[in-house]
């Protein structure tokens, strides 16, 4: 086993460069488009379409703009929008804020994350329906649970000043460069970690362990490691590495679909979970309901499609 010199670092650098190029070539133009949308204030009129959905899940109509911002920009952008409009709306209860957090954890950053899913082979329309549709279902169920048990009905307050939701091009470009540097660093670390696991033979052991834990979801061993990375660090990382892996070997489309479905419903379980808890989301929704819901829905999709032929599943769910 050689972990340095000729055999290790050139391999890791090459895989990192290839994965970053694959991600950045569509992330950069999408980021520019999103910033233009923010500058011209086009999110607010578009958000009116989501107001009926807010009523269904028991949230104020103003939250439509907040959720749309999270879906188009990212979770942080969503909370910036919330802080900006919160002084002019009725206070949310802790239950309502938790419902919003769970819905946002499932459905956010669509322009980039749906494109990552597309690059792995999953149809954008299918992944959008899964994430948006089940985010609404999760909101309905969680609202009904909190109302049925009459819990978390106290109002919440944010002790933060409302920041500007848009920034200039210079500051935006600097922030984007920092984000891309972080992404590249994380991908390099993940590639190096996977290579070490592969060279030491630990990857096979890890795959066997995960196969036992996730085997009931019918996710094949070829994508188990990437699935766990996506669950832990996010779709941009797990999906990005999966895109790169499909170039090296032919991954089963069914495994890709099931893996991306689970990742779409439940990912970035460290960073995003900590963020939602720090913003006031209750642990019952963020830590318990969210993963249980994601695994049950993924299992239901697996059961509903298990009798479909690979050809049919690929035709309707994969590009």
- The pTM for the full model equals 0.80
User: Residues 311-314: contacts with CB within 8 Å, 24+ apart?
Assistant: 313/253, 313/254, 313/257, 314/253
DSSP, collapsed to helix, strand or coil, labels residue 118 as: helix
Task: Classify residue 1 by its DSSP letter.
Answer: -
**Residue owning tokens 């694959």:** 22
Which of 163-167, 200-204, 232-236, 284-288 is predicted least confidently?
163-167
Residue 287: CB atoms within 10 A of its CB come to: 15
What average pLDDT score do residues 296-311 get?
Answer: 91
Please give the Cα distance from 273 to 102 (Å, whole number).
Answer: 10
Please give the Cα distance from 69 to 165 (Å, whole number).
Answer: 10
Predicted local confidence at residue 252, as pLDDT: 84
Per-residue confidence band for 43, with pLDDT thresholds at 50, 70 and 90: confident
Q: Which helix or strand (DSSP H or E) is residue 82 part of?
A: helix 75-85
Predicted local confidence at residue 122, as pLDDT: 92
Please give the Cα distance from 139 to 208 (Å, whole number).
Answer: 35
Taking alpha carbons only, the member of 293, 287, 289, 213 closest to residue 261 is 293
Read off the tokens for 253. 């489309």
Please give the Cα distance from 111 to 11 (Å, whole number).
Answer: 30
pLDDT > 80? residue 71: yes
Length of the chain: 319
What backbone phi and psi angles, to 5 degrees, belong to 118?
A: -60, -40
Cβ burial of 37 (10 Å; 0-12, 13-18, 19+) is: middle
* Proportion of the chain above pLDDT 70, given as a percent: 90
**Residue owning tokens 């390099």:** 188
**Residue owning tokens 């540097």:** 181
Per-residue confidence band for 162, with pLDDT thresholds at 50, 70 and 90: very low
DSSP, collapsed to helix, strand or coil, labels residue 220 as: coil
172 neighbors 140 (Cβ within 8 angstroms):
no
């Amino acid at each position: 086993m050689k972990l340095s010199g000729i055999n290790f670092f050139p391999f890791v650098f090459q895989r990192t460069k290839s994965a970053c190029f694959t991600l950045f070539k569509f992330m950069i133009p999408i980021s520019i488009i999103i910033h233009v949308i923010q500058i011209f204030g086009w999110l607010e009129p578009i958000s009116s379409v989501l107001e009926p959905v807010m009523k269904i899940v028991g949230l104020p109509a103003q939250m439509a703009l907040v959720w749309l911002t999270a879906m188009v920009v990212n979770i942080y952008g969503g909370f910036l929008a919330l802080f900006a409009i919160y002084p002019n709306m009725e206070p949310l209860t802790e239950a309502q804020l938790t419902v919003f957090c769970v819905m946002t954890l499932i459905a956010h950053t669509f322009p980039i994350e749906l494109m990552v899913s597309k690059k792995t082979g999953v149809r954008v329309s299918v992944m959008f329906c899964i994430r948006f549709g089940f985010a609404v279902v999760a909101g309905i169920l969680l609202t009904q649970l909190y109302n049925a048990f009459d819990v978390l009905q106290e109002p919440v307050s944010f002790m933060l000043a409302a920041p500007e939701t848009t920034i200039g091009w210079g500051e935006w470009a600097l922030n984007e460069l920092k984000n891309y540097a972080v992404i590249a660093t994380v991908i390099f670390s993940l590639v190096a970690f996977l290579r070490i696991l592969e060279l030491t033979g630990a990857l096979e052991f890890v795959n066997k362990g995960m196969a036992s834990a996730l085997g009931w979801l019918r996710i094949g061993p070829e994508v188990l490691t990437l699935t766990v990375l996506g669950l832990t660090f996010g779709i941009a990382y797990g999906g990005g590495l999966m895109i790169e892996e499909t170039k090296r070997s032919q991954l089963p489309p069914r495994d890709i679909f099931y893996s991306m479905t689970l990742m779409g419903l439940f990912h970035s379980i460290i960073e995003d979970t900590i963020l939602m808890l720090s913003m006031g989301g209750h642990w019952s929704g963020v830590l318990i309901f969210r993963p249980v819901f994601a695994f049950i829905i993924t299992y239901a999709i697996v059961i509903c499609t298990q009798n479909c032929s690979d050809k049919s599943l690929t035709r309707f769910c994969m590009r």
